[in-house]
Amino acid sequence: MTPALRVSGLRVAYGSVVAVDGIDLEVREGEIYGLLGPNGAGKTSALSAIEGLLRPSAGDIVIGDVDARAHPLQAKAHLGVQLQTTSFHSSLTLVEIVRLYAGLYGVTLKSAQIRELLGQINLKKEASKRFRELSGGQQQRFSLLIATIHDPELVLLDEPTAGLDPQARRQLWDRIERFRKEGRSILLTTHSMEEAQAVCDRVAIMDHGKILTVGTPAALIAAHRDDPQVRQAAHGEVTLEDVFIALTGRELRD
């Protein structure tokens, strides 16, 4: 089976600073894959390179069966993207924004269809509002709708639940789970170990531009349970966060 995403030897540098240092990763079809790491680990840079926002200095990115570096527009057509901070034209209404992004992916939607889509995420009443007039949770739901407006095979989510209250976070997890049931693959970055354990099939822990370990949350806990550093980090039952802290250290990051 062709993986939804295959990245090999990916390297991203900003001048002399290497943000992503030759990572390999593979997201399988129908899989939710989490990329974990402290601030500055290189998660967003890796994601930006996959999204086509950054030109990597080395490595291959294959989305489905499309070489993203050779055919970037074709690769983008297969991708749904939710950026860490999303903004849309400030004076357009939600209906107009949906029409714009659907059009950019070659999807034609009538006004009634757009309102129906907005209804599915409880934003029908807000159809004539501007994006900035929505609450944080509503903005997140709307951004996710835009990211999946063209029914992509692979969805990239950069810290999708950052700043959300527990209700909004749970709702988003449900939506992510629904995406998987619809056959999509998801690559997400997160700081939340709770989120990684709750929704991800596999996670990769990344630091200093390198992937340190990959596996299911349960397998990672089992594999590192007896490491002295993990035991030291644990307060009782070993969790994914204990493994994360043991692998990436306790010092604060920017």
Partner 1 sequence: MAVPTWSSSLKVLLRADATAQLRTPFSLVLTFALPLILLVATGLGKNSAALGGPEFRISLALTVGLVSIGTVGYSLAIARDRDTGVFQRLRVTPAPTWTIMVSRWIVQLGAVLVMAIVVLVVAAFFVGVTLPAQDYLFTVLVALLGSAVFLSIGQAIVGLIASADTLNAAGRVIYVPLIGLSLFGNTDRLGTTVEMVSRWSPGGCLETLLSAAMGATSWSGQVWGALFASLGYTVVFAVIGIRWFRWVSK
**Binding site residues, partner 1, CB under 8 A:** 51-53, 73-74, 76-79, 81, 83, 85-92, 96-97, 99-101, 103-106, 150, 152-153
Nearer residue to partner 1 within complex by CB, 75 or 238: 75
Instruction: Give the sheet arrangement for strand 58-63, strand by strand.
Output: 17-27, 5-14, 58-63, 66-67
Minimal distance in Å, beta carbon 162 to partner 1? 14
Minimal distance in Å, beta carbon 224 to partner 1? 35
Q: Which two tokens stand for residue 155?
A: 């969805």
Buried b (16+ CB within 10 A) or exposed e, 147-178: bbbbebbbbbbbbbbbebeeebbebbbebbee
Minimal distance in Å, beta carbon 94 to partner 1? 13
Which residues are CB-neighbours of 22 under 8 A, at least 6 positions away?
9, 10, 11, 58, 59, 210
Nearer residue to partner 1 within complex by CB, 79 or 233: 79
Nearer residue to partner 1 within complex by CB, 87 or 120: 87
In DSSP terms, 192 is beta-bridged to none
Minimal distance in Å, beta carbon 84 to partner 1? 9
Nearer residue to partner 1 within complex by CB, 92 or 198: 92
Nearer residue to partner 1 within complex by CB, 90 or 167: 90
Minimal distance in Å, beta carbon 22 to partner 1? 24
Minimal distance in Å, beta carbon 62 to partner 1? 15
Nearer residue to partner 1 within complex by CB, 107 or 212: 107
Which residue type does 38 have? P
Minimal distance in Å, beta carbon 108 to partner 1? 10
Nearer residue to partner 1 within complex by CB, 154 or 234: 154
In DSSP terms, 82 is beta-bridged to 157
